[in-house]
């Protein structure tokens, strides 16, 4: 079970409160977690990464275990604490604009 914390606007869009939990088969990676997230919440498709290229949107960042994982390749295994459910994967809207 992977815990994911979405930014407020995406929680509203997905109609969820607090963290969401998704199941991933095998070693969790950004790609697998986002695949599972979009399968559970189809409204999020296109809001975190591109529909086709699957590239992270420029003003979205991924954090976990006090590390910025945004520039990690999407198939890199997530930290063990995220994989175990001890820590959430944070999806963050970059601090910019008003």
Footprint on this chain of another protein (rule: CB under 8 A): 7, 9-10, 13, 43, 45-48, 51-52, 57, 59-60, 93-94, 96-97
For the bound state, the minimum distance from the C-beta of residue 38 to another protein, rounded and expressed in Å, comes to 12
Question: Which residue shows structure tokens 């001890």?
Answer: 86
Query: Which lies closer to another protein via its Cβ, residue 25 or residue 55?
Result: 55
Query: Which lies closer to another protein via its Cβ, residue 15 or residue 25?
Result: 15
Question: How far, in Å, CA of 87 to CA of 53, rounded?
Answer: 28
Q: What is the 3-state secondary structure (H, E, C) of 39-63?
A: HHCHHHCCCCECCCCCCECCCEEEE
For the bound state, the minimum distance from the C-beta of residue 83 to another protein, rounded and expressed in Å, comes to 26
């Amino acid at each position: 079970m992977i815990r994911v914390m979405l930014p407020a606007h995406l929680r509203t869009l997905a109609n969820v409160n607090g963290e969401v939990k998704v199941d991933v088969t095998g070693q969790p990676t950004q790609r697998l977690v986002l695949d599972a997230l979009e399968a559970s919440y189809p409204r999020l498709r296109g809001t975190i990464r591109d529909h086709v290229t699957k590239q992270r949107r420029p003003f979205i960042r991924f954090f976990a275990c006090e590390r910025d994982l945004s520039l990690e390749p999407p198939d890199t295994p997530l930290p063990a604490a995220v994989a175990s459910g001890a820590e959430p994967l944070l999806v963050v809207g970059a601090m910019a604009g008003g």
